[in-house]
Amino acid sequence: MNNSNLFKNLKADLPASIVVFFVALPLCLGIALASGAPLFSGLIAGIVGGVIVGALSGSQIGVSGPAAGLAAIVLTAIGSLGGYQNFLLAVVLGGVIQLVFGFLKAGIIGYYFPSSVIKGMLTGIGIIIILKQIPHFFGYDSSPEGDFAFFQVNGENTFSEIFNAINFISPGATLIAVIGIVILVLWKTVLSKKGKFFTLIQGPLVAVVAGIVYFLVTQGNSFWSISEDHLVSVPVPESMSSFLGQFMLPNFGGISNPEIWVTAFTIALVASLETLLCVEATDKLDPVKRVTPTNRELLAQGAGNIISGMIGGLPVTQVIVRSSANIQSGGKTKVAAIVHGLLLLISILLIPTLLNKIPLSVLASILLLVGYNLAKPKLFLTMYKLGWKQFAPFAVTVAGIVFTDLLIGIAMGLVVGIVVILIKSFQNSHFLHIENDSDGKNKIKMTLAEEVTFFNKGAILKELDSIPTNTFLELDVRNTRYLDNDIIEILEDFSEKARNRNIDIKVVSEKKTVENPESFIQFFSLRKKTV
């Protein structure tokens, strides 16, 4: 990407970067909290994911940072490995393993997930964002931002959290959240069409400023004020030395510990899978439908994890929440991701106190709209109209993500997708044409598909068994390029039954035509090896 392209899209990328910054800030802190790691580690991962990974990645609109899907792994690993610095070593080694994945061209794995599962992933994440932000919208913050699993770290689940929030509604937090929603909707639907000013200054920035002003104005009012624990909580360094003191080095002395290597491989595998899935989903959301080079993405993520682990940060992956916020805000190039990382760095250096005056309910209003745009009701109707073969994997993926977590939900959708493929394979193994012959015999022509595998055994066996007595069967294999040995054995077994039921069989192949062959095994062995 040349400089002219960079400057050409600055008007779109800079406003988008601000929105992504406000989305990323609470998620970085919340994921760190949910992971049992220092809060600053989440911010480090956000900065590295934006600046380093953003610069190295081939994705123009993807945004990387700490991922909710790794929170449980991180939480367990910190405890089992005997300290955070040992865990950092696992992050560094995980990054090295990701580099190996990239060099081995493992990025192709991302292309083997059906479109219905990817769409289900986007929709499921959208629903999860909405459900998880409802308590924050009302000022109830028992679960940290970024805890996207159904069973939460505080012992509650997604729905119990919402029901509990009803009993702990904060009038002030709710009011400013409603004001935030109104600002965002008006800005997008009305004001953005009134002039360039309203496109340059994004609605989320205005909503955040309104939230800060509201907090300052209502301080001291017992009913309408916002409590301190409902605000963003960025660590505030007293000096540059205390700021630098928040960075940590890995404990390289533990490199011979096999548990660290197991954790490293787990991080590399899960982070790579999440990244590849996000890349696939982000490319689908891209208005200009650019294709991200997946192997390069693995290399970028590996480099990011090495650097993040070296300075005390959490593992990074490409993240759909931030990526979709970037797309929805009009981001065009990777500049948006890079600038959002720089904004995180500059803000925690220069204005951490100001950041700590942002109500979480305002940020919840921003995320609610992000979630809605990912999970529009219209999409369910569209997928339903495509038929059950598309809708079933989609619906299972959505339900799995909502009621378990991201990776389990995707795995469930993938399993259903594979079952659908098997069913389709069962149904499409052959074509059958029935007609009457001149001698009064039933004539049946069975044309086999281009590839017939053991998956098709059931369908073909059922069809052969249903052929009535006194039938002339023409078996056409001229278009068949692969015929599994299991199918040949079925035909071999059927030939004996055919003689007993007065069924004549003519086999038509590219090289020869044979009536009532003595041995199907021998006949097909004479054909070229591709059959």
Q: Give the pLDDT of the chain (531 residues) as one tens digit per residue.
A: 455 566 688 888 999 999 999 999 999 999 998 888 999 999 999 999 999 999 999 999 999 999 888 888 898 899 899 889 999 999 999 999 999 999 999 988 888 888 899 999 999 999 999 999 999 999 998 888 877 888 877 778 889 999 999 888 999 999 999 999 999 999 888 887 777 777 778 889 999 999 999 999 999 888 899 999 999 999 988 888 888 889 999 999 999 999 999 999 999 999 999 999 999 999 989 998 898 999 999 999 999 999 999 999 999 999 999 999 999 999 999 999 999 999 999 999 999 999 999 999 999 999 999 999 999 889 999 999 988 888 999 999 999 999 988 889 999 999 998 888 777 766 665 555 666 554 567 788 888 887 787 777 777 888 888 888 888 888 888 888 888 888 888 888 888 888 888 888 888 888 788 888 888 888 887 444 444
Residue 470 identity: N
Residue 531 pLDDT: 40
Nearest to 272 by CA among 69, 125, 515: 69
Write down the pLDDT at residue 434. 62
What was the pLDDT predicted at 525? 75
- 69 and 406 Cβ atoms separated by less than 8 Å: yes
Residue 528 is predicted with a pLDDT of 43
Count how many Cα atoms sit within 13 Å of the Cα of residue 178 in the half-sphere of its side chain.
7
Within 10 angstroms of residue 178's Cβ, the number of other Cβ atoms is 13
- Compute CA 461 distance to the chain's CA centroid, rounded to the nearest angstrom: 40
Q: Where are the domains of the chain?
A: 3-401, 428-525
- C-alpha 436/C-alpha 442 separation (Å) is 5
CA-nearest of 510, 418, 500 to 455 is: 418
Taking residue 258's Cβ as centre, other Cβ atoms within 10 Å add up to 7
CATH superfamily of domain region 428-525: STAS domain (3.30.750.24)
pLDDT confidence of residue 356:
94
- Cβ atoms < 10 Å from Cβ of 295: 17
- Contact in structure between 56 and 337 (CB atoms under 8 Å): no
Where does residue 97 rank: exposed (0-12), middle (13-18), buried (19+ CB within 10 A)?
A: buried
Burial 278-291 (b: 16+ CB within 10 A, else e): bbbbbbebbeeeee
Q: Measured at the alpha carbon of residue 25, what is the angle toward residues 19 and 26, in degrees to the nearest 5?
A: 115
Q: Which amino acid is at 512?
A: K
Q: Strand runs (DSSP E) across 37-102, as ranges?
A: 64-66
Cα-Cα end-to-end distance for the chain: 48
Distance from C-alpha of 208 to C-alpha of 177, rounded to nearest angstrom = 10
Question: Rounded to whole angstroms, how far apart are CA atoms 318 and 222?
Answer: 42
Alpha-carbon distances, residue 362 vs 136, 300, 369, 386 (angstroms): 9, 33, 11, 38
Q: Residue 317: beta bridge partners?
A: 65
Q: Is the dihedral of CA 78, 82, 88, 93 positive or negative?
A: negative
DSSP H helices, 104-202, are: 115-137, 158-166, 171-189, 196-200
Q: Are 60 and 333 in contact (CB under 8 A)?
A: yes
Q: On the CB side of 257, how many CA atoms lie within 13 Å of its CA?
A: 18
Relative to beta strand 513-515, strand 503-508 is: antiparallel
User: Alpha-carbon distance 270 to 25, whole Å?
Assistant: 23
Whether the CA torsion 140, 145, 148, 150 is positive or negative: it is negative
* Residue 26 Cα to chain centre, angstroms: 20
Global pTM exceeds 0.85: no
The whole-number pLDDT of residue 234 equals 92
